[in-house]
Structure 1
């Protein structure tokens, strides 16, 4: 089931479709006026559906709602759509993207003002990136779900946020057969010596950055 079918099905089957419709609009951070413009309908129509003043929309109208929201989200960069389509547990995933060509790791590191904290060589190329909440990933991912972090290729940078010492992410990478091209800790409290040692044993560059995740996504999502 794709994202569009999931959203439409949830609205259709909901006992309160007006509230579910509003929930998904807010999930995509779309204003009522923006949705109305995309659908070429009045703002009051959107408001009436969401408040329940207007009879619940039929299937065809719901499809139009969903299609409009997906088009808007795509224009906004498609980050939320990528999260849902990845199959990774949504509560832990912040962003995921695959590139259509090889990107030099140093290009990404320069974009995010990254600092290498290990001796693993940086001279390599990547085909995508994944940004996850480190704590939630460790707590919620099953062993098999870690594979989903790699998208279409393991040659990618995995960013971990909410890192305290940095041991757990590198231990998880150590025991899993798939290995990323590089690991980045976002605003880590500090980087433990064990994490650095594991990155060098696995020959995986370990990098830190003080940049916000939203800015990271913006800068590396469409590298030219």
Structure 2
């Protein structure tokens, strides 16, 4: 298989994943917005590609317009992939290892995807966390709980990217950290940046100031918490279940 054929096959598999998730979502508009933000495509860019008014895309994402049918979803997904291809395909390639479906890594404790995003302040509340740097707050569409030492020592850069699940707009929760510096170094050298970083097991006075400085450079919100990790995961998942029910 040539490189071009492999890339086209990757695009096809990713398109199926995206279209299926949007179509089957309880909130297709929110899901559509998540993917558009993942690919860093503006509403104007996608509307130009589809030759529709930007208000059409805005109305779909906000729920003001009836949910897009499968044909429109397909066109939107194809446009997102086409725009990324024109930009060099960086985002598409970032999902390659995720589609490999290798979930056997012991360094990943838990991953979870939200149908409706969790707001930053709610994340802080559920984790009983201390905000070390507020950064650029944005809605979070999931979280990953990671063994810090294992992920840094055992994972390749491509495998590390799999920690993001299906959205970079997520909280990356690192456990077994000693100062918090190493996870921030690992994030600094990757192309993908999470929506928030949580250092588990450290009090605010135990975090290396250099970790905070690195978070500031990338403008990523940085938190620390000592809440029991099992309880924390349960609370975060419970929030996702309540959101789906509209509670």
Inter-partner Cα distance in structure 2 for 1:129 and 1:153: 9
2:238 equivalent to 1:192: no
Counterpart among 139, 149, 158 of residue 144 in structure 1: 158
Deviations 1:45-78 (A, max 9, x none): xxxxxxxxxxxxxxxxxxxxxxxxxxxxxxxxxx
Inter-partner Cα distance in structure 2 for 1:162 and 1:171: 15
- The answer on whether the counterparts of 2:138 and 2:169 sit within 8 Å (CA) in structure 1 is no
User: Pairwise mapping of residues 110-189 of structure 1 onto structure 2 (< 5 A)?
Assistant: 110-121=125-136, 123-188=137-202
Q: 1:193/1:89 Cα in 2 relative to 1: closer, same or farther (>3 Å)?
A: farther
Larger radius of gyration: 1
* C-alpha RMSD of matched pairs (Å): 1.6
Specify which structure has the higher proportion of helix: 2
- The answer on whether the counterparts of 2:197 and 2:223 sit within 8 Å (CA) in structure 1 is yes
- The answer on whether the counterparts of 1:162 and 1:188 sit within 8 Å (CA) in structure 2 is no
Unaligned runs of 5+ in 2: 1-99, 243-247
Alignment length (residue pairs): 139
Q: How far 1:212 sits from its partner (Å)? A: 1.1
Q: Residue 222 of structure 1 aligns to a residue in which SS?
A: helix
Deviations 1:154-195 (A, max 9, x none): 000000011001111001101100000000011127211110
- The answer on whether the counterparts of 1:88 and 1:149 sit within 8 Å (CA) in structure 2 is no
Q: Residue 166 of structure 2 aligns to a residue in which SS?
A: coil
Inter-partner Cα distance in structure 2 for 1:192 and 1:144: 27
- The answer on whether the counterparts of 2:129 and 2:223 sit within 8 Å (CA) in structure 1 is yes
Inter-partner Cα distance in structure 2 for 1:86 and 1:187: 29
User: What is the aligned partner in structure 1 of residue 219 from structure 2?
Assistant: 203
Unaligned runs of 5+ in 1: 1-84
2:122 equivalent to 1:107: yes
Q: Residue 217 of structure 1 aligns to a residue in which SS?
A: helix
